[in-house]
Amino acid sequence: MKKLLALLLVLCMIFALAACSTDPGTESEAPAGEDVAITLWTYPIGGWGNSETVKTLTDKFEAANPGIKVNVEYLDYTNGDDQVNTAIEGKKAPDLIMEGPERLVANWGAKGYMVDLADLWDDTDKNEVIPSVVSACFNAEGKCYEYPVCMTAHCMAINLDAFKKAGADQYLDLENLTWTTEGFINAVKALKEAGYENVAAVYCGGQGGDQGTRAIVNNLYSGTFTNAEHTAYTADSAENVKALELLKELDGVNFDASIVGGDEINLFRQGVLQMAFCWNIGAQTNVDNGNEVGKTNNGEEIVCMAFPSDDGKAELCGGIWGFGIFDNGDAAKIDAAKKFIKYMADGEGTADAVKASTYFAVRDTAEGNDLTKIYADDPVRTEYTKLMPLLGDYYQVVPGWAEARTAWWNMLQQIGSGTDVSTAVAEFVATANAAAGA
């Protein structure tokens, strides 16, 4: 028995050594010749969060580019940013990352971790891609930290059956998918009177989905979030304060710190809320809850709407997604990563890559491949294209965006806990501008 214990102890020590080694990083099984393995981390951008979908895409790329192997890891919006940050500190940043300019350009790019992709753009590309997207992907010094693939306009959604029941559908312009601030106020009141306890929720928690709360606040009285040069935050303007006060006063609209954007979507689909501020074509076509496309879990009809505005001209927040390359100091990997970007964003793979994202292409053709017809037989997306011209300024590239976003949530939480709106907004702008100046 005692011998056994001693043996066990010795074994433990051997284990200790073994523990150092049994967990490898990548499957770099004898890299023969000039084979390169690159790692891609993606956020759940439509089907790009689904391993089966992504595998078919990377398989095609690997077949077209022998010698390059792509390993994909999937991030979520709750922990994703923290994981990228820890990985950067741990010097294990991925080679490729897929997200939007607010992270790639304004955050990691600005901090010096990304590779300049300006050499991937020729004049044709610059003409093909929508100008506002191009400008979002370049920083003020003309460096490009993101090559865009797909985009959407973030909109809101309403439960049409509930609106009809409450007689609130009269406030909607279902032809153009727009409505006015006054109509919005009346609709909330009508729904509340019709017995809907919770009409909408300003979700105040989390990392993603901030565009929805920003857009509703900015649109109600035509406020802006930043100045036109994208150098400072202007969220404390009288229009924005007025909008926040309206949302706070409006009976039926809750400031809810216990939910994040994803929770709001769930609550809306469950029929608890009658409007969702965190919506886009991806949400409209999602069927994970056993629902049908464009329907709530109970089968009620969901209509995508622009945000209500006082001047009738809604400005929707854009979502742009594309690839960036982390500078890990390995030229071979950077080259391989660039080939990947070229293939997916401006080449044979682009149509599939865009389709997988469930969003829209940022250009009409990619190296001669026509991208205008990929959703030709898709009525939901055809309807959604009505909203695309309403895309507003893509301002999420102000320096210090990540810190500002964190402060934005906190500001909403403060307002929800009863802090005076102008005080909270002033504090937010001070914090955000400090981060922008740094």
Partner 1 sequence: MRSQKSMAYRVIAMILVVILALLFLFPLYWIVTGSFKTGKEINSTTPVWWPSEWTLTNYETLMSKQTANLFDLSIPFSQYFTKDGEAIVFLSGPEVPAAIRWLLNTVWMAVAAMLLTCATAAMAGYALAKKRFVGRGLIFTLIVCAMALPKQVILIPLIREMSSLKLYNTISAVIYPIVGWPFGVFLIKQFAEGIPGEILESARIDGAGEFRTFTKIAFPMIKPGVGALAIFTFISAWNDYFMQLIMLTSTRNLTISLGIAKMQAENSTNFGLIMAGAAFAAVPIIIVFVIFQKYFTRGITMGAVKG
Partner 2 sequence: MPKRSRMSRALVRRETTAGYLFLLPSLFFFITFVLVPMFICIYTSFFDSNMGKDTQDVFIGFNNYKELLGDEIFLGALKNTLIIVVVSVPTVCIFSLWVASAIYDMKPALTSIYRVIFYLPVVTGSVAVTVVWKWMFNNYYGIFNYLSQGVGLTNQNINWLGDARYALWCIILILFTTSVGQPIVLYVSALGNVDQTLVEAAEVDGATNTQVFWKIKWPQIMPTTLYILVITTINSFQCFALIQLLTSGGPNHSTDTIMYYIYYTAFKLYRYGYGNAMGVVLMILIAILSAVQFRLGKSKS
Q: Interface with partner 1 by CB under 8 A: which residues?
A: 2, 5-6, 8-9, 11-13, 15-30, 43-45, 49, 51-52, 73-79, 82-83, 86-87, 89-92, 208-209, 261-263, 265-266, 269-272, 282-283, 286, 288-291, 297, 330
Nearest alpha carbon to residue 326 among 138, 103, 142, 129: 103
Query: Distances from the Cα of 338 to the Cαs of 41, 92, 148, 344, in angstroms?
Result: 15, 19, 13, 10
Nearer CB in complex with partner 2: 46/416? 416
Contact in structure between 88 and 108 (CB atoms under 8 Å): yes
Decide: helix, strand or coil at residue 40.
strand
Among 54, 72, 81, 200, binds partner 2 (CB under 8 A): 81
Decide: helix, strand or coil at residue 301.
strand
Any contact of residue 155 with partner 2 (CB under 8 A)?
no
Any contact of residue 258 with partner 2 (CB under 8 A)?
yes
Which of partner 2, partner 1, none binds 301 (CB below 5-8 Å, type-dependent)?
none
User: What's the min distance (Å) between Cβ of 256 and partner 2?
Assistant: 5
Instruction: Strands of 86-165 (E only): list them.
Output: 96-99, 147-159
Instruction: Strands of 105-264 (E only): list them.
Output: 147-159, 200-205, 253-260
Which of partner 1, partner 2, none binds 204 (CB below 5-8 Å, type-dependent)?
partner 2
Among 71, 176, 291, 406, binds partner 2 (CB under 8 A): 406
Decide: helix, strand or coil at residue 397.
coil
User: What's the min distance (Å) between Cβ of 56 and partner 2?
Assistant: 30
Any contact of residue 328 with partner 2 (CB under 8 A)?
no
Any contact of residue 417 with partner 2 (CB under 8 A)?
yes
**HSE (side-chain half, CA atoms, 13 Å) at 73:** 17
Could you tell me the end-to-end alpha-carbon distance of the chain, in angstroms, rounded to an integer?
Answer: 65
Taking only Cα atoms into account, the Rg of the chain, rounded to an integer number of angstroms, comes to 24
Any contact of residue 71 with partner 2 (CB under 8 A)?
no
Angle at 68 between CA 64 and CA 71, to 5 degrees: 110
Any contact of residue 413 with partner 2 (CB under 8 A)?
yes
User: What's the min distance (Å) between Cβ of 202 and partner 2?
Assistant: 11
Q: Which two tokens stand for residue 7?
A: 């043996």
User: What's the min distance (Å) between Cβ of 93 and partner 1?
Assistant: 10
Instruction: Strands of 48-139 (E only): list them.
Output: 68-74, 96-99
Nearer CB in complex with partner 1: 282/416? 282
Pairwise CA distance, residues 259 & 285, whole Å: 22
Any contact of residue 205 with partner 2 (CB under 8 A)?
yes
Q: Which two tokens stand for residue 359?
A: 């969003």
Which of partner 1, partner 2, none binds 77 (CB below 5-8 Å, type-dependent)?
partner 1
Which of partner 1, partner 2, none binds 18 (CB below 5-8 Å, type-dependent)?
partner 1
Pairwise CA distance, residues 170 & 186, whole Å: 10
Any contact of residue 250 with partner 2 (CB under 8 A)?
no
Binding footprint of partner 2 on the chain (CB under 8 A): 13, 16, 81-82, 85-86, 88-89, 111-113, 198, 204-206, 254, 256-259, 267, 270, 272, 327, 402-403, 406, 409-410, 413-414, 416-417, 419
